[in-house]
Amino acid sequence: MTVWNQHIRMPALQLNLVRCVVISVMFGVALPFIEWPVGMAFYSGAIVAGIASAVTTTSLFYGAKEHSAHLASLFMPLAMIFTFALWLFIGEGRWAWLAHHPVNAAVITAAMIVANITVFKMRHIRFTHTSFVGLVVLNALMIGLSQIWVKKTVDDTLDAMVMLSFVIFLSQVVCTALWMRFKNIPIQPLRINRNIAVLSVVSALSCLCSWYAVLWAADPSYVTAVLLAAPFLLMLYHRAMKHDISQSLIPGAIITLCSFVVIVFSL
């Protein structure tokens, strides 16, 4: 998904709107055949996840179009750190575990400090101050909050996951359309081609898989840690294609290494 718009270069909001409309229809077809979850907690969590997804996905598409897919995905390590920190206050028994493992706690703290310093040092590479804050810090926080909220409010049944996915993408449709209206961007007629169709199918499957992973993981930050393989793959891709990725390889590797250290020492 991050590398997609680097090639087709479609306006980010328009691409996200078309993609989410297609996926909402895909999941909407299944609604008459499932048992709908009850309770406002479920739907509020799904809407929060949808809003977070709208912001992060649009930022990914925009960052890939304006910079590169590699730079657009740099918020992932920071998202992992934020999620881990938030889960300390919400997850049961996390503080007790750290108290019984002081060495692990010290290494985790050091890794987080190094990772955060490195992230802020990266600002001079490509990002202006505004785009850095919007793409990295805001996206990381929204991912952490949405993952924890969903983990606390959603069951892992197939019916619940289908409804969760439907509400997430429907929320994205509404958010993206309102965003375009606010920015006075005309909503173009929906034009679905092979690129959009493939991206929609991949997005729908990744939504189900990623949220199942969040629900099943002991700590939701572990899911983001696994996804940190993506920036490494994108680095290799850009090198093979001889794209300019400036000096982001070294700090990106440091951030990723720190994030894996946090995971290893928290097991």
Taking the CA atoms of residue 133, residue 175, residue 17 and residue 56 in that order, the dihedral angle to the nearest 10 degrees is 30
Residue 62's H or E segment, with its range, is: helix 40-66
- The alpha carbon of residue 56 and the mean position of all alpha carbons in its chain are separated, in whole angstroms, by 6
Q: Mean pLDDT throughout 91-107? A: 82
pLDDT at 105 over 90: no
Which residue range is the domain that position 84 belongs to? 4-265
Query: By CB neighbour count within 10 A (0-12 exposed, 13-18 middle, 19+ buried), where does 36 fall?
Result: exposed
All residues at 6 or more sequence positions from 188 whose CB lies less than 8 Å from its CB, including other chains: 14
Q: Number of H helices and number of E strands within the chain?
A: 14, 0
pLDDT averaged over every residue in the chain: 77
Radius of gyration of the chain (CA): 19
Query: Measured in Å, how far apart are the chain's first and last C-alpha atoms?
Result: 30
pLDDT tens per residue, range 10-56: 777 888 888 889 999 999 999 999 999 888 888 888 888 888 888 77
Overall number of domains in the chain:
1
Digit-coded pLDDT (tens) for 172-204: 899 888 888 888 888 777 777 788 888 888 889
Question: With bands split at pLDDT 50, 70 and 90, how would you rate the model's confidence at 155?
Answer: confident
- pLDDT tier, 162 (very low <50, low <70, confident <90, very high otherwise): very high
| Biggest CA-to-CA distance, the chain | 59
